[in-house]
Amino acid sequence: MIALSLPAVAERPIAIAVHGGAGTIERDSLSSEREAAIRQALESAARAGHELLADGASATDAIIAAIRILEDAPEFNAGRGSVLTSLGQVEMDASIMDGATLDAGAVAGVTRLRHPIEAAHRVMTDSPHVMLIGEGAVDFARGFKLEEKDPDWFITDFRRQQLEEIQSREQVRLAYQDSWFSTVGAVALDSKGNLAAGTSTGGMANKRWGRVGDSPIIGAGTYADNRTCAVSATGHGEYFIRHVVAYDICARMAYTARPLAETADEVVNRILKRAGGSGGVIAIDRHGRITMPFNTPGMYRAAIHRDGRLEVGIYGDDNEPAPRPPH
Ligand code: ASP
């Protein structure tokens, strides 16, 4: 009998990472119930995206599934639970990018949309544009029957209290800078070898109405390119815009051929930090290697690595990251 040996089909790696924002997150600033809810939501989001990837879905579909869960979780600053503007309203931003085609879509300053990430996706797939803002974006989303909610539905007691607390401080400007950033985002590698990134946020607490941060800006808060990596950022948006953080990480990889973890660490922990910009990123390369550096005390994050290992972290010493190379 002749034994037939079939050529081994190399299994393509899949992996996903999600974040729920970076900031002044310290152990005594979170109740155990809140911490448990946050960890649970991060894990559910990563698992939802990973299940789709395991079924052969695209990286864009996986990150939309993950971000939808985080937009619905009131603990995070996206969708319901978004931070409030100085006028006490919710204005949301979101973006998505497909690393295979470099197609991208974004919405900024939107109200009413339960899942701004879906609107950003529609801008990418169903319009000739990359970014739509305000009422124009909501009107566009309506054409696809994306779910809408009354503006009050988005506002939680926690965010009302947060705004009151910020506005009662003497130095409001400082408070604006050290607020928590609990924007959400996801990056993924699918079984076809495609990368994608997405980010969704209510912006920064007590922001001026009409202010737009980095999250919907392709290159600043979100970027994906199959040749290098996919990045979703969280932090003080003005700095991320000025330093074009997400694109800079990808570009440094392309120009220097250095590993993702090194370039992401350099941008977040050296360039951004030196400039005074606080925050972090989640990033994945085309081999499915994930890195999640931040220069704040904590960053809500979860990943399902290419070996199937689940990682959930909040504080700097959770799942102690590999020591950084000396600079
Ligand atoms: N980067 C977001 C912004 O500036 C805030 C955050 O990450 O939570 O709008």
Q: DSSP character for 257?
A: -
Q: DSSP character for 218?
A: B
3-state secondary structure 55-92: CCCCHHHHHHHHHHHHHHCCCCCCCCCCCCECCCCCCE
Residue 212's φ and ψ, nearest 5 degrees, are -120, 130
Nearest CA to ligand 1 atom 8: 181
Q: Which of 95, 159, 236 to mutate to test the pocket of ligand 1 (most atoms within 8 A of CB)?
A: 236
Taking the CA of residue 23 as reference, the ligand 1 atom at the shortest distance is: 8
Lowest mean pLDDT across 9-13, 30-34, 171-175, 306-310: 171-175
> What pLDDT is recorded for position 172?
57
Q: Above 80 in pLDDT, residue 7?
A: no
Q: Is 91 in the pocket of ligand 1 (CB under 6 A)?
A: no
Q: Which of 83, 180, 209, 215 to mutate to test the pocket of ligand 1 (most atoms within 8 A of CB)?
A: 215
> What pLDDT is recorded for position 125?
98
Q: How many other CB atoms are there within 10 angstroms of residue 44's CB atom?
A: 16
175: its two tokens? 């408070």
* Cα-Cα-Cα-Cα dihedral sign, residues 29, 35, 39, 42: negative
The 3-state DSSP class for residue 277 equals: coil
Supply the pTM of this predicted model.
0.92
CA of 21 to the centre of ligand 1 (A): 8
> What pLDDT is recorded for position 325?
43
Q: Above 70 in pLDDT, residue 5?
A: no
How do 279-285 and 229-235 pair as beta strands?
A: antiparallel
226-257 pLDDT, tens digit per residue, is 999 999 999 999 999 999 999 999 999 999 99
150-190 pLDDT, tens digit per residue, is 999 999 999 999 999 888 876 655 444 445 678 999 999 99
DSSP letters spanning 146-213: --B--GGGG--HHHHHHHHHHHHSS-HHHHHHHS----EEEEEE-TTS-EEEEEEE--STTBPTT---
60, 111, 183, 263: which is the annotated catalytic residue?
A: 183
Q: Distances in Å between the alpha carbon of 292 and those of 109, 302, 303?
A: 27, 9, 9
> What pLDDT is recorded for position 161?
93
91-144 pLDDT, tens digit per residue, is 999 999 999 999 999 999 999 999 999 999 999 999 999 999 999 999 999 999
Mean pLDDT (whole number) for 2-25: 75
> What pLDDT is recorded for position 4?
53
Q: Is 180 in the pocket of ligand 1 (CB under 6 A)?
A: no
- H/E segment holding residue 266: helix 260-266
> What pLDDT is recorded for position 30?
78
Angle, vertex CA 95, rays to CA 91 and CA 100, nearest 5: 175
Q: Is 198 in the pocket of ligand 1 (CB under 6 A)?
A: no
DSSP letters spanning 298-316: EEEEEEE-TTS-EEEEEET
The reply to whether 183 belongs to the active site is: yes
Q: Is 214 in the pocket of ligand 1 (CB under 6 A)?
A: yes
Q: Is 199 in the pocket of ligand 1 (CB under 6 A)?
A: no
CA of 235 to the centre of ligand 1 (A): 5
Q: Is 82 in the pocket of ligand 1 (CB under 6 A)?
A: no
Q: Is 215 in the pocket of ligand 1 (CB under 6 A)?
A: yes
Is-contact 78 71, C-beta < 8 A?
yes
Q: Which residues pair with 63 in a beta bridge?
A: none
- Give all domains of the chain, ordered by start, each with its CATH number: 15-315 (3.60.20.30)
